[in-house]
């Protein structure tokens, strides 16, 4: 697959560090896809474009998503999450990507959702552990948990998010708490079996 047009668009529309992060996420997503028997090229493309809306203004992003179906409770209250649903729209309308798996993984790469597919999970995790811009001390606990399973790695990711929000006295979306609790239940029930 030729990624040139996507890279050119991203270079024009992202800050340099965000572009590097996108390249790192693409590389990591491709590696994780290979490890878990998923489409490497599709994972690379999704990792590449997952933050395509990140450098647009909050006002622009909010206007783009305010009428979206399926917004989570409180999602419009946190500008840091606007780029994910807006990115899925932008990827389809501006970049011509129509693959529903790529669009869904882009949509959910920040907030996550219950019952994520393995493809959605690897994009979510790759965003957190890519090596170009993420420091080792942040990546290491997630990478260690990944040795057990995707769900173990997700649990660490969501735990880190919750701790960070609490430390900064920021609200926690109910969806984040629900996903965290659901992962705990899944992993606990797997221990019993």
Question: pLDDT tens-digit profile of 28-78?
Answer: 999 999 999 999 999 999 999 999 999 888 787 777 776 666 666 566 677
Q: What is the distance between the alpha carbons of residues 118 and 76, in angstroms, rounded to a whole number?
A: 26
Mean pLDDT of 80-90: 86
Range name among 4-13, 75-84, 119-128 with the lowest pLDDT average: 75-84
Whole-number average pLDDT of the chain: 91
SS3 of residue 81 by DSSP = helix
Question: pLDDT tens-digit profile of 127-136?
Answer: 999 999 999 9
pLDDT of residue 172: 84
Mean pLDDT of 129-145: 97
Residue 148 has pLDDT above 70, yes or no: yes
User: Quick one: which of 80, 87, 81, 125 has its CA closest to 10?
Assistant: 87
pLDDT of residue 73: 59
SS3 of residue 111 by DSSP = coil
User: Quick one: which of 95, 81, 106, 96 has its CA closest to 170?
Assistant: 81
Assigned token pair, 192: 């019993």
Where are the strands (E) in the chain, listed by range?
A: none
Helix (H) or strand (E) run with residue 43 in it: helix 40-49
Quick one: how far is CA 40 from the chain centroid?
A: 16
What's the Cα-to-Cα distance from 61 to each of 10, 52, 119, rounded to whole Å? Answer: 16, 11, 25
């Amino acid at each position: 697959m030729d990624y040139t047009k996507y890279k050119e668009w991203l270079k024009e529309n992202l800050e340099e560090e965000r572009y590097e992060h996108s390249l790192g996420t693409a590389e990591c997503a491709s590696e994780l896809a290979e490890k878990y028997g998923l489409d490497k090229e599709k994972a690379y493309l999704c990792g590449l474009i997952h933050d395509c809306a990140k450098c647009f203004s909050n006002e622009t992003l909010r206007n783009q998503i305010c009428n979206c179906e399926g917004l989570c409770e409180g999602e419009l209250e946190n500008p840091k999450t606007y780029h994910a649903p807006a990115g899925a729209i932008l990827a389809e309308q501006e970049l011509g990507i129509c693959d529903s798996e790529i669009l869904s993984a882009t949509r959910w790469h920040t907030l996550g959702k219950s019952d994520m597919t393995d493809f959605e999970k690897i994009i979510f995790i790759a965003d957190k552990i890519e090596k170009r811009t993420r420091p080792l001390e942040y990546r290491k606990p997630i990478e260690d948990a990944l040795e057990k399973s995707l769900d173990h790695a997700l649990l660490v990711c969501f735990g880190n998010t919750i701790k960070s929000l609490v430390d900064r006295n920021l609200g926690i979306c109910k969806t984040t708490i629900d996903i965290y609790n659901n992962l705990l239940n899944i992993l606990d029930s797997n221990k019993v079996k």
